[in-house]
Amino acid sequence: MPLIPVEAMPHFENMIYLPMVLIILERDRELFEKGAFKLKRPYFKIVEEAEKIVQLELKETKIYMRRNNMQVIRGKTDNTFTEYAFLCGGYEDHRRYLNVRLRNRTEELLDVYFAMTGG
């Protein structure tokens, strides 16, 4: 039997990926502001709507984690892996994520959130 409940894993992973998605969206918004786009508003609208959805999900995740005494701690990072410690109910689980996988999953999530905006 795993020490950290299976149902907790999506919340742990949200705490990894959602902040990354927000950083990308903020950087994209800055690029649109500085870019030579003729019509910037449609791009801003899509990015801002996606940001709102991600922020709401991150808020809900933080509430869930606080209520369930859960925590994610980022550990060592090298060119290949990033390590995270998941703490839950007195247990600690260390996991290593391939940096390429982190990037690819973040990109997948961007697609999901852009689709949710209708953009």
Q: Is residue 93 part of a domain?
A: no
Q: What are phi and psi of 37, to 5 degrees?
A: -80, 140
Q: How many domains does the chain have?
A: 1
Largest CA distance in the chain: 57
Q: Is residue 63 part of a domain?
A: yes
Q: Is residue 90 part of a domain?
A: no
* Residue 112 structural domain: 6-68+100-117
Q: Is residue 37 part of a domain?
A: yes
Contacts of 117 (CB under 8 A, 6+ apart): 45, 46, 49, 50, 53
Separation of alpha carbons 104 and 111, rounded Å: 11
**Is a pLDDT exceeding 70 seen at residue 1?**
no
Q: Is residue 20 part of a domain?
A: yes
Q: pLDDT class for 2, splitting at 50, 70, 90?
A: low
Q: pLDDT class for 44, splitting at 50, 70, 90?
A: confident
Q: Is residue 86 part of a domain?
A: no
Q: Is residue 84 part of a domain?
A: no
**Is a pLDDT exceeding 70 seen at residue 119?**
no
Q: What is the pTM of this model?
A: 0.90
User: pLDDT tens across 4-28, in order?
Assistant: 888 999 999 999 999 999 999 999 9
Cα angle 15, 20, 24; round to 5: 155
Q: What is the mean pLDDT of residues 29-49?
A: 87
Query: What integer pLDDT is reported at residue 74 of this predicted model?
Result: 97
Q: Is residue 94 part of a domain?
A: no
Q: Which residue in 83, 57, 84 sits closest to 72, CA to CA? A: 84
